Amino acid sequence: MKKSLSSTASICSSTILVLLIICCSQVRAQTLGDYRSVATGNWSTPSTWEYHNGSAWVASTTFPGEIATINNVTLQSPFVVTIDISPFVNFNQMVVLTVNSGATLQDQAGALNYTVAPANFFNISGSVNLTNTTDITSDVFTGIINIFAGGVFSAHVVTASRVSNSGISTITSDYVNGLPINATFNNGIWINQAGSTLNFGGAAMTGGLRAIANGNTVNYYSASVNQTVRTPVSSYYNLTLSGGGGRTKTLAANTTVLGSVSIQGNSSFNPSTFNISVGLDWNNASTSASAFVFGSVALTFNGSTTQNIVNTGNASGAGFSQLIFSNTSATIPQIQTQTDILVYNTLTMNSGVINLNGRTLQFGANYLTARNLNYTNGWFYGGDFMRYLVTGAVIVAGSNDSLYPVGTNTQFRPFYLSTTTAPTVSSSVRLTCPSSLMSFTDVNIPDTGGPIIRLASSSWSIIMSGGTGGTYEVNAGGTGFGIIGDVTDLRLSQASSVAGTAGVNSGTISSPMVQRTGLTATDLSSITFFLGTVNLTRSPLPVELISFSGEAERSVVNLRWQTRSELNCDFFTVYRSSNGKDFVRVGTIKGQGTTKLTTNYELQDKSPLKGINYYRLSQTDWDGTTHSLSLISVEADGVEAVQAYPNPIKSGQVLRVSLHGIDSVTASEISLIDAMGNIIGTYPVTIDSSGNFIGELKIDEVPTGLYFLKLNQTIMKILVQ
């Protein structure tokens, strides 16, 4: 039986319209014909309602829509009202339908067929669920719907001139525009407000969609039909493609997502021929073998904060035809990958430093076709960059075809691999990005122009797989290698030998490029290149420390050091330790930046420990990179590192403890240990910024004998009597 809340003649009998019209959130004065719920029950049960007779609320003998006089209907908390109404009622005079927070409006389960048609507004702060009926042609047909924050709204079909959603809404079939779509006046448009969610289950959305507000999400969730992703006014904020059944979600136009794209369930995201730009994260959790059908489209990461590429689903969710990095954040890394990435055709790097987090970016799927690298700025670090060499093709030195854009978390250190004669059988080349840790080793490796006598530890490791024939050339370098007076002093070398021939270096002393020629496929099958120097006078590479010494004088220790040269040196730090393992900071002194002049420094330790003091000197660059330069020991007549009294002590007494020179980062508790090595008790301690602690420990009732107090590596004997 068809049940109706409207006598509107224009509604086709084959269409089920739920015309729920919502008003603004302002409080309205009660007028004759208003209804409000006062109990949980069915809509058609009069005792569910009170009625306003023009002067007061009274017990109702009718229900909303049973008589002609209807103004506003309000569902109050905590009541649940269930639509069960019969046909031929006068419902079209209702002006406002309001569901307050804590109230619920729902329909009956089963094949209920009804129409709800208020005249103007539908305000939802509570819960509205009109999807219990199995008749999916049910329609909310109204003027304006307002779903406020905290409101929950579900319906099969919604026809409205405008919808403002600040809550959580679910449309199982369609949103139809009640007015012609006009983006200027928001006519015919569903508007997702900040922080809201729209779950859409239909094949396609007829009405307009505005989903640009911060933090809002539109989720295409159907597991029963393929869905077309509605082209929004302007852009999406968060776009989610979910649901089971392997259903496909297809774009209808180029799409901008200001927030994140999430592919979930067993869904498949097919952009068709349309490009996508993403402002935050790409997150695939779909188990579908076609989680992302990349085709020939471009995916652009163009955010202004750190972006993440995450794939916990099928590997197809991290395969892209064209991948573009254009992140403008001022903080490194601009982009982080939590998955291996495969770029089939074109990689474009406009801006952004990418942390691979131990993963691999593979550029190209085979060596049959050349891949296009469009490079302007940015680099990869913390993982592997892999690309293919095309069979029979000569790769020009210095071209993007030869570039491996890699570096560290602070330094760009590009690597170029080119061919002077083409390989007969091509190969894949996997390059491991240089480490951010930098140290220097003095060596003696024969090479053109004199032996290589010092190597920087940050290196490029190459594995060439499957290639035969051809002659190769390498150019590598970049920033942050130390003091370089002339780029001709530099060489590329292995740890103890060289391969190929030293070539013609280029670049500048702050960003040199060092060449190696005459390399074979055998040489490159597994090789690590280090940057070295043949001239320590002009190009010593690191800060050159001439000496570091300390001298005890009464109750202080005077520390002195001398450098022959410095590069980008921000400051020096001296640390002290009583055991050579746990260090505390003594002080810092400003460096000279960049200089080739000899510089002397002095620092005084006014609180040395009694006995042997270990002093470590470190140097920090302007970019934050720190190098340990030297470690010395000085015997001084200072304070004891650990003092405890009384000692011997009686069981149950309070032990007064004084600690000095303790590492405040690693120290957290003192342990009491017996002669067998068992921990008898622990005592939390708080070390101040100077590495000191003075406090009292109550020794528990323990047998008499020898015990030990242990804090980090510091141990003291305690005799309990």
Q: Given strand 654-659, what is the order of strands in its sheet?
A: 642-645, 654-659, 693-698
Label the pairing between strands 238-241 and 217-220.
parallel
- Of the candidates 699, 701, 704, 703, the one whose C-alpha atom is nearest the C-alpha of residue 670 is 699
Of residues 668 and 635, more confidence is placed in: 635
Which range (46-50, 333-337, 506-510, 582-586) has the least confidence? 582-586
pLDDT band at 13 (very low <50, low <70, confident <90, very high): very low
Using an 8 Å Cβ cutoff, are 680 and 672 in contact? yes
User: How far is CA 389 from its chain centroid?
Assistant: 32
* Same domain, residue pair 261 and 396: no
Average pLDDT, stretch 606-630?
84
Q: What mean pLDDT value characterizes the chain?
A: 86
Query: At 477, is the secondary structure helix, strand, or coil?
Result: strand
Please say if the pLDDT value at position 19 is more than 60.
Answer: no
Look at residue 23 in the predicted model and tell me its pLDDT. Answer: 35
Residue among 625, 683, 696 at smallest CA distance from 657: 696
In a domain, 206, yes or no: no
Print the domain residue range for 669: 642-720
In degrees and rounded to multiples of 5, residue 425 shows phi and psi of -125, 125
Burial class, 429, CB count within 10 angstroms (exposed 0-12 / middle 13-18 / buried 19+): buried
Per-residue confidence band for 153, with pLDDT thresholds at 50, 70 and 90: very high
> Higher confidence at residue 271 or residue 108?
271
Together in a domain, 555 and 484:
no
Shared domain check, 449 and 307: no
Residues 159, 68 share a domain: yes
CA geometry: angle 218, 222, 223, nearest 5 deg: 145
In 3D, which of 121, 87, 125 has the Cα closest to residue 105? Answer: 125
Nearest partner of 522 among 469, 452, 578, judged by Cα? 469
Flag whether pLDDT at 50 surpasses 70: yes
How sure is the predictor about 12, in pLDDT bands with cuts at 50, 70 and 90?
Answer: very low
State the total domains in the chain: 5
Higher per-residue pLDDT: 5 or 177: 177
Assign 443 a pLDDT band (cuts: 50, 70, 90).
very high
Band (pLDDT 50/70/90 cuts) for residue 703 is confident
Among 184-193, 206-215, 593-602, 619-628, the range scoring the smallest mean pLDDT is 619-628
In-domain check, residue 293: yes
Domain closes at, from 600, 619, 637: 637
Residue 439 amino acid letter: S
The answer as to whether 448 is a domain residue is: yes
Compute the distance between CA of residue 405 and CA of residue 416 in angstroms, rounded to an integer. 8
For residue 92, pLDDT over 70 is answered with no
Listed range (75-89, 379-393, 452-466, 677-691) with the worst mean pLDDT: 677-691
**Higher-confidence position of 87 and 589:** 589
Which range scores top for mean pLDDT: 91-100, 435-444, 569-578?
569-578
Structure tokens of 119?
């005249």
List 706's β-bridge partners, or say none.
719
Task: Name residue 643's beta-bridge partners.
Answer: 658
Q: Which residue has the higher pLDDT, 653 or 9?
A: 653
Same domain for 464 and 408? Answer: yes
In a domain, 192, yes or no: no
Asked whether residue 193 is assigned to any structural domain, the reply reads no
450 and 510 share a domain? yes
What does the block give as tokens for 68? 């002609």
Q: Is residue 339 part of a domain?
A: yes
- What's the confidence (pLDDT) of residue 85? 72
Q: What is the DSSP letter of 174?
A: E
Predicted confidence (pLDDT) at residue 461 exceeds the cutoff of 90 = yes
Question: For residue 412, what pLDDT is reported?
Answer: 96
Number of Cβ within a 10 Å radius of residue 45: 15
470 in the same domain as 325: no
In a domain, 201, yes or no: no
pLDDT of residue 112: 67
First to last CA, the chain: 96
pLDDT mean over 50-60: 94
Same domain, residue pair 467 and 477: yes
Residues 714 and 676 in one domain: yes
Q: Are residues 492 and 364 in the same domain?
A: yes
pLDDT of residue 528: 97
Q: Which of 53-62, 347-356, 590-599 has the lowest mean pLDDT?
A: 590-599
Rg of the chain over all Cα atoms, to the nearest angstrom: 37
pLDDT tens digits along 219-230: 999 999 999 999
Residue 370: pLDDT band (50, 70, 90) is low
**The pLDDT of residue 93:** 62
**Which CATH number fits the domain that encloses residue 563?**
2.60.40.10
Q: Considering 338, 355, 372, which residue would you say is the last residue of a domain? A: 355
From residue 437, alpha-carbon distances to 481, 483, 532, 623, 624 in Å are 11, 17, 16, 13, 11
> Do residues 648 and 687 share a domain?
yes
Q: Where does the pLDDT of residue 104 fall: very low under 50, low under 70, confident under 90, or very high at 90 and above? A: very high
* Distance from C-alpha of 133 to C-alpha of 152, rounded to nearest angstrom: 17
Both 372 and 481 in a single domain? Answer: yes
pLDDT tens-digit map of 556-570:
899 999 998 887 789
Query: Are 225 and 246 in contact, with CB atoms under 8 Å apart?
Result: no
In a domain? residue 191: no
Residues of the chain with pLDDT > 70: what percent?
88
Residue predicted with more confidence, 310 or 111 = 310
CATH of residue 702: 2.60.40.1930
End residue of a domain, out of 601, 620, 637? 637
What would the pLDDT profile of 648-698 be if each residue is shown by its tens digit?
888 778 887 776 666 554 556 788 887 777 787 887 777 766 667 777 777
Which pTM value belongs to this model?
Answer: 0.74
Q: When comparing pLDDT for 565 and 112, which is higher?
A: 565
Residue 9: the pLDDT is 28
Angstrom CA distances, 711 to 33, 187, 646, stand at 80, 71, 19
Q: Which residue has the higher pLDDT, 621 or 530?
A: 530
